[in-house]
Structure 1
Amino acid sequence: MPSSSSNRETGSARPRFYSNRDIHEAFAQFLGIGERDRRLLARHHDALLQGSERFAKVFYAYLLSYPATAQILERFQAAGGEIDSLVASQLAHLWRLLSGRTDEDSSQRLAHIGDVHYRFGVEPVWVMGAYLLYWDHLRERIADSERIPDAERSELENAVTRFLFRDMGLMLEGYWDAALEQVSNERNKVHMLQEQITSLLSNLPQVLWSVDVVNNRPLYVSPSSRRICDLDVELPIPCLNWTLEEDREAVRAAWQKALDGRDVEVESRVRSPDGKLQWFRRVFRPFTDDAGRVVRIDGLMEDATEAKRTLERLHTLATTDSLTGLANRTLLLDRLSHALAVARRSRPVRQVALMIMDLDHFKEINDTLGHPVGDEVLRAVARRLAGKLRKSDTLARLGGDEFAVLLPEMGAAWKTAEKVAGKLLECFKAPFRVGGQDLLLGASIGIALFPEHGESVDSLMRRADVVMYDVKRAGLGFGFYDAGNDPHTPRRLRLMTELRRGLEKEELRLHYQPKVDLASGHVTGVEALVRWQHPKHGLLYPDEFLPMASRTGLINPLTDWVLQAALRQCMDWRAQGMRVRIAVNVDAMAFQQADLAERIFALLTRTGAPAECLEIEITENLLTGDLDKCSAVLARLADRGITIAIDDYGTGYSSLAYLKQLSLHTLKIDKSFVMDMCHDENDAVIVRSTVDLAHNLGYTVVAEGVEDAEILQLLEILGCDSAQGYHIARPMEPDALAAWLSQRPAG
Structure 2
Amino acid sequence: MSANPIISMAGYSAARSFEPAHLFGSDPDRADLFDFLVGLQTSMEIAVLLETFSLRLQADYAHRGVRFETLWADAGQSSSDFMFGQLDGHCKRLLLHVGGQELGWLEIYSSTPPDSGQQRIVDRLLACLIHPLQNAIRIERLTRQAMLDDLTGVGNRPALIKALGHEIARAERREEYSALALMVLDLDGFKELNDRQGHLVGDEGLRQFARVLRKHLRDTDQLFRYGGDEFVVILPDADEAAGLEIAARLEARVGAECVKPALRTSTGVAQWKRGMSGRDLFQAADAAMYDRKQQKRADQTSSSIR
Common fold by TM > 0.5: yes
1:472 aligns with 2:293: yes
| TM superposition shift of 1:218 | 5.6
1:207 aligns with 2:20: yes
Identity rate of aligned residues, in percent? 31
The AA in structure 2 aligned to 1:332 is: L
Given candidates 243, 246, 268, the residue that maps to 1:446 is 268
Partner Cα distance (2:19, 2:130) in 1: 4
1:462 aligns with 2:279: no
Structure 2 residue aligned with 1:53: none
- Post-superposition CA distance 1:366-392 (Å, at most 9, x none): 111111111111111111111111111
Determine helix, strand or coil for the equivalent of 1:303: helix
In structure 1, the gaps of 5 or more residues are 1-201, 221-233, 239-245, 258-267, 280-298, 476-619, 621-647, 653-668, 671-686, 691-700, 704-747
1:368 aligns with 2:196: yes
* 1:555-574 correspondence to structure 2 within 5 Å: none
| TM superposition shift of 1:364 | 1.2
| TM superposition shift of 1:345 | 2.4
Partner Cα distance (1:219, 1:348) in 2: 49
The AA in structure 2 aligned to 1:447 is: V
Partner Cα distance (1:301, 1:458) in 2: 41
Partner Cα distance (1:420, 1:465) in 2: 16
Greater percentage in strand: 2
Partner Cα distance (2:181, 2:129) in 1: 45
Partner Cα distance (2:292, 2:259) in 1: 26
Given candidates 404, 420, 423, the residue that maps to 2:246 is 420
- Post-superposition CA distance 1:179-236 (Å, at most 9, x none): xxxxxxxxxxxxxxxxxxxxxxx9xx98365489xxx71669xxxxxxxxxxxxx999
Contact 1:211 1:236 in 2 (8 A): no
Q: Which has the larger radius of gyration?
A: 1
* 1:187-586 correspondence to structure 2 within 5 Å: 207=20, 209-210=23-24, 217=28, 249-253=51-55, 271=96, 277-278=102-103, 303-304=131-132, 307-410=135-238, 413-430=239-256, 432-434=258-260, 439-451=261-273, 455-475=276-296
Structure 1 residues 431 and 339: CA distance shift in structure 2, 3 A? closer
The AA in structure 2 aligned to 1:428 is: V
The AA in structure 2 aligned to 1:416 is: A
Structure 1 residues 352 and 273: CA distance shift in structure 2, 3 A? closer
Structure 1 residues 441 and 431: CA distance shift in structure 2, 3 A? same
Structure 1 residues 449 and 219: CA distance shift in structure 2, 3 A? closer
Structure 1 residues 252 and 313: CA distance shift in structure 2, 3 A? closer
- Post-superposition CA distance 1:75-109 (Å, at most 9, x none): xxxxxxxxxxxxxxxxxxxxxxxxxxxxxxxxxxx
Determine helix, strand or coil for the equivalent of 2:256: coil
RMSD, aligned α-carbons: 4.0
Contact 2:103 2:134 in 1 (8 A): no
Partner Cα distance (1:431, 1:309) in 2: 37
Partner Cα distance (1:334, 1:236) in 2: 34
In the superposition, the TM-score normalised over structure 2's length comes to: 0.60
| TM superposition shift of 1:250 | 2.5
Contact 1:354 1:406 in 2 (8 A): yes
Partner Cα distance (2:199, 2:228) in 1: 11
| TM superposition shift of 1:344 | 2.1
Contact 2:152 2:210 in 1 (8 A): yes
Partner Cα distance (2:155, 2:98) in 1: 37
The AA in structure 1 aligned to 2:206 is: L
The AA in structure 2 aligned to 1:463 is: A
Contact 2:247 2:268 in 1 (8 A): no
Partner Cα distance (1:309, 1:272) in 2: 12
In structure 2, the gaps of 5 or more residues are 1-14, 38-47, 60-81, 83-93, 105-126
Structure 1 residues 211 and 237: CA distance shift in structure 2, 3 A? farther
Partner Cα distance (2:141, 2:186) in 1: 29
Determine helix, strand or coil for the equivalent of 1:455: coil
In the superposition, the TM-score normalised over structure 1's length comes to: 0.27
Contact 1:384 1:427 in 2 (8 A): yes
- Post-superposition CA distance 1:608-663 (Å, at most 9, x none): xxxxxxxxxxxx5xxxxxxxxxxxxxxxxxxxxxxxxxxx4xx24xxxxxxxxxxx
Partner Cα distance (2:271, 2:177) in 1: 12
Structure 1 residues 219 and 250: CA distance shift in structure 2, 3 A? closer
Contact 2:186 2:230 in 1 (8 A): yes
The AA in structure 1 aligned to 2:250 is: L
Determine helix, strand or coil for the equivalent of 1:472: helix
Structure 1 residues 315 and 368: CA distance shift in structure 2, 3 A? same
Contact 1:357 1:402 in 2 (8 A): yes
The AA in structure 1 aligned to 2:263 is: L
Partner Cα distance (1:406, 1:378) in 2: 19
Which has the higher relative contact order, 1 or 2, with Cα contacts under 8 A spaced 6 or more apart?
A: 2
Partner Cα distance (2:101, 2:195) in 1: 51
